[in-house]
Amino acid sequence: MTRHARLALVLVSLLGILSFGAAWILGFAVEPGIGLASDSYYYLSGADTMNNGEGFGRIAGNGEFKPTTHFPPIYSVALLASRALSGERIGSTVVLHQASLILTLWLGAWLVYRMSKWKVMPVVFILLAGYSPALLAVNSWMLSEGLFLLILALVWVCVHQSQGTNREVWLLLAGLLTGAAY
């Protein structure tokens, strides 16, 4: 194994340890339960009604289905997917947020790696972003911000990739992801 390959392996291993460490801290922080806000009700209700085949909405106090028009459905779809994988209604949200945090950190670290002359900067990025009280707080609530940040990181990856080949495809994908983030 060459010196460069060993260095790359050490860097990737360190990034993995640090990003999974941040996700572990997030899991520890929400051990009593993920934070719920008034918006959480609409996201969870949207996942419930989609799961029941009723569409994206909520069940009103009188039992009538009310379509939700002022909350985007993508976070509810993600909640539904995480529920399908784990079988838990609310507990699966923590795993969704942990996975979202890890992927956001990895995408951010990749972007920093591609744009930096110092190859240790992705480690600095994960230390600063992954262990940031603000980012951990955002991901500790059943709200769409964590997923939004992941989609935003994907947009930046697509924009970066558009500087090379297949420019139109990457920009189209960036536009579609921007729409999904909205």
3-state secondary structure the chain: CCHHHHHHHHHHHHHHHHHHHHHHHHHHHCCCCCECCHHHHHHHHHHHHHHCCCCCEEECCCCCEEECCCCCCHHHHHHHHHHHHHCCCCHHHHHHHHHHHHHHHHHHHHHHHHHCCCCCHHHHHHHHHHCCHHHHHHCCECCCHHHHHHHHHHHHHHHHHCCCCCHHHHHHHHHHHHHHHC
Q: pTM to 2 decimals?
A: 0.91
Segment 119-131 mean pLDDT: 94
Segment 3-31 mean pLDDT: 91
Segment 99-123 mean pLDDT: 94
Nearest to 147 by CA among 85, 79, 71: 79
pLDDT of residue 138: 93
Q: Which amino acid is present at 100? A: S
pLDDT of residue 15: 93
Q: How confident is the model at residue 1 (pLDDT cuts 50, 70, 90)?
A: confident
Indicate if the pLDDT at residue 29 is higher than 90: no
Other CB atoms within a 10 A radius of the CB of residue 90 amount to 14
Nearest to 104 by CA among 171, 164, 155: 155
